């Protein structure tokens, strides 16, 4: 294979990785929002079982159910409003129904994950290392965001002398 063919393939792989990364970034936004809520619900359920008390059965809530909605008006987000980064730009950063501002963090996480995936595949190619690097970096990103959300509002303890 000539070097120009190899370079063209490399560019195609990096672009595909960027697109996969954008979609994974969209999923990371879901995980970062829902996983702490799912864990809290499970903790409440376990506490109730340990204390032999009962809690009201809640509606199913996991990474796929219910479908994404606008937190302001409850408008169910349609597939074409859920295309990573592009939908945010097309909607002008607002809900299509109630025009409430959508956080810039969502497209930023999507774009950043796209860049992470593209960088990993550019660095290692479509190899086990490249795919592992992409997966591990996206898991780390999700963990950092969850940690940040949980601890962002807690004041830093002053140093005791
Ligand atoms: Zn809305």
Domain borders along the chain are 15-144
Distance of CA 26 from the midpoint of ligand 1 (Å): 18
| pLDDT confidence band for 32 (50 / 70 / 90) | very high
DSSP state of 157: P
Contact 94, 100 (CB under 8 A): yes
pLDDT of res. 54: 81
- As a whole number of Å, the end-to-end CA separation of the chain is 67
Contact 103, 94 (CB under 8 A): no
> What are the phi and psi torsion angles at 86 (to 5°)?
-60, -45
pLDDT number for residue 1: 63
Cα 88 to averaged position of ligand 1 atoms, centre (Å):
13
What region, left, alpha or beta, does residue 93 occupy, with left being phi > 0 and alpha being psi -120 to 50 degrees? left
Tokens 């950043």 identify what position? 112
Report whether pLDDT(37) > 60.
yes
Q: At what angle do helices 105-124 and 128-151 cross, to 10 degrees?
A: 150
Q: Give CA–CA dist 68/34, Å, rounded.
A: 11
Check residue 152 and give its pLDDT: 79
Q: What mean pLDDT do residues 77-97 have?
A: 95
60 alpha carbon to ligand 1 midpoint, in Å? 22
User: What pLDDT band is residue 160 in, cutting at 50, 70 and 90?
Assistant: low
Q: Distance from the CA of 72 to the center of ligand 1, in angstroms?
A: 5
Tell me the CA–centroid distance for residue 5 and ligand 1, in Å.
47
Distance CA 66, CA 140 (A): 25
Average pLDDT over residues 57-80: 90
Q: What is the pLDDT of residue 2?
A: 76
E strand intervals along 11-112? none
Q: What percent of the chain has pLDDT over 70?
A: 94
Calculate how far, in angstroms, residue 100's C-alpha sits from the geometric centre of ligand 1. Answer: 6
Question: Which tens digits make up the pLDDT trace of 99-129?
Answer: 999 999 999 999 999 999 999 999 999 999 9
Contact 63, 31 (CB under 8 A): yes
How would residue 21 be classed by pLDDT, with cut points 50, 70 and 90? very high
């Amino acid at each position: 294979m000539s070097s120009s063919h190899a370079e063209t393939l490399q560019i195609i792989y990096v672009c595909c990785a960027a697109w996969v990364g954008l979609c994974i970034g969209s999923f990371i936004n879901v995980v970062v929002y829902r996983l702490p809520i799912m864990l809290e619900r499970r903790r409440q359920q376990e506490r109730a079982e340990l204390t032999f008390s009962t809690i009201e059965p809640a509606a199913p809530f996991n990474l796929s159910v219910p479908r994404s909605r606008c937190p302001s008006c409850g408008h169910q987000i349609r597939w074409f409003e859920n295309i990573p980064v592009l939908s945010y730009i097309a909607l002008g950063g607002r809900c299509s129904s109630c025009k409430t501002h959508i956080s810039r963090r969502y497209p930023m996480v999507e774009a950043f994950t796209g860049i992470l995936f593209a960088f990993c595949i550019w660095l290692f190619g479509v190899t086990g290392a490249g795919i592992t690097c992409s997966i591990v970096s996206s898991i780390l990103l999700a963990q950092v965001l969850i940690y940040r959300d949980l601890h962002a509002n807690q004041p830093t303890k002053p140093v005791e002398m």
